[in-house]
């Protein structure tokens, strides 16, 4: 993975004139650098989406906690009613 990151960094720094160099070696290098950059961008985008999803689920989970608490306490009989019924 270190080489892929290195190639992606090199692709970001390379300008269009260097990318369009003629010759077979230039074409292979251009495709390698672009593939590395696309891969790195896809990985970072997937990581960001996963972080957003986890944060959203944590917010939903925290918002549901008071509702669960109220529901569990409202379904229990009160201590006074339990004392009078015995």
Does some domain include residue 35? yes
Are the beta carbons of 37 and 12 closer than 8 angstroms? Answer: yes
Q: Which domain range does residue 39 map to? A: 2-67
Least confident interval from 1-5, 13-17, 68-72? 68-72
Q: Number of folded domains in the chain? A: 1
In a domain, 79, yes or no: no
The answer to whether residue 76 sits within a structural domain is: no
Position 83 in a domain: no
Q: Is residue 58 part of a domain?
A: yes
Judge whether 78 lies within some domain: no
> Taking 90 as the threshold, does the pLDDT of residue 76 lie above it?
no
Cβ neighbours around 31 below 10 Å, total: 11
| Separation CA 82–CA 79 (nearest Å) | 5
Token reading at 8: 């992606």
pTM of the model: 0.62
């Amino acid at each position: 993975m270190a080489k892929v990151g290195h190639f992606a960094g090199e692709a970001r720094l390379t300008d269009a004139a260097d990318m369009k160099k003629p010759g077979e070696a230039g074409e292979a290098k251009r495709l390698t650098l672009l593939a590395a950059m696309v891969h790195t961008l896809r990985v970072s985008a997937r990581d960001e989406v996963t972080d957003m999803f986890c944060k959203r689920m944590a917010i939903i989970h925290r918002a549901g906690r008071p509702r669960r608490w109220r529901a569990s306490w409202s379904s229990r009989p009160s201590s006074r009613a339990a004392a009078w019924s015995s």
